[in-house]
Structure 1
């Protein structure tokens, strides 16, 4: 038997080609690994940030009073920055002794419980009030809620325009007017008060926005609304 003894090794060219092929294979795999680690870290940070935002939101919702303000703090457990943005939602604040300028005003005691306020395409008739404004702007309607007993009013919007219903209470008001939407775009705001009101937060709706961030940017954002009774 003839034994072949070949001690020939790899040439420099073969080594370089092997390294090049190995580099081509490893580079995308390394990028994929780094990206996967980064995504997992970001996902974990977002999960923790949502938990932090939920915790502070629950604290604010549980309060009996709120005030409009913007503030921030560093959460001691996570080191994340928590920003609070609390604003009065859709509020008319009036200190002049007169109500805001509405397109129409409804005096709730003049209505009967269960009445329907119809807003028609051919002019807007509300309690025998004709609105002559025919633009596409929203229709602002104020309801004076000084009723002797709790009552319900219905609003049917048969137009293509948005209707804003503002419920106006005074400091002596104890009974509520409930407004139901039966048709169309109708948005109801309960946070209107006149200059005689003693408690500035009575029936006030607050928009609460909590943002949680770290050095890489915003991780979580929660928004809710709370009515102060």
Structure 2
């Protein structure tokens, strides 16, 4: 009897001890929830913000990539551009859909509206065109300048060439170099009078259709002086000439009596990037096409 009583008493103590431990656990969980609650909310909000930041960054990268791609497509600009009068009633078009990101565009042609970027030039009859101040010729995979040849391709990829023209005290000079910044020629342009335009001739020989990528910068040329590129016998439209400065130039294609009044066109490109229907990025840029 005595042993049974001791056993019963121990069992009661054990039961009380278990109940007390459960209460302690419940209280501890409650305290932990109270203490960590605000921090948990902060962690969740931070996670959401990080995800949103990544989405915005991705949208920004896409808009930059697409903008540069559209700028490099002159034919696409011509075909897709709408007039300013039609721009308000023209919807954005889809250009790209990638991983729930949607890139849309609208291109507006601003022709002859900004005097500093647009103008007309009536070219003379071919018989009246005097000797040019600088002559390029393209033939058999090379471009020639002052009888010096340069390869048009490196490992089957067209090389980007650059020409900067400057003017100081009535003296005009040029720098011709490649995309690596290697200067090939730097010299004065001869026979340039105070009022005459600078005339640069690019002639394709023997039916050549080699791509010649030429980037032109005229920022240091006097505002009053025109710069004209005469393009001869480019039957394959292989010359890729681009204005990388802010001063316009004039391009005269296929020298003949029927080529007159080429002009500058300014394209306004608008991009919108959405992620799952939510607008995350909007970009606006301008590009000139000198024709």
- TM-score normalised per structure 2: 0.39
Structure label with greater radius of gyration? 2
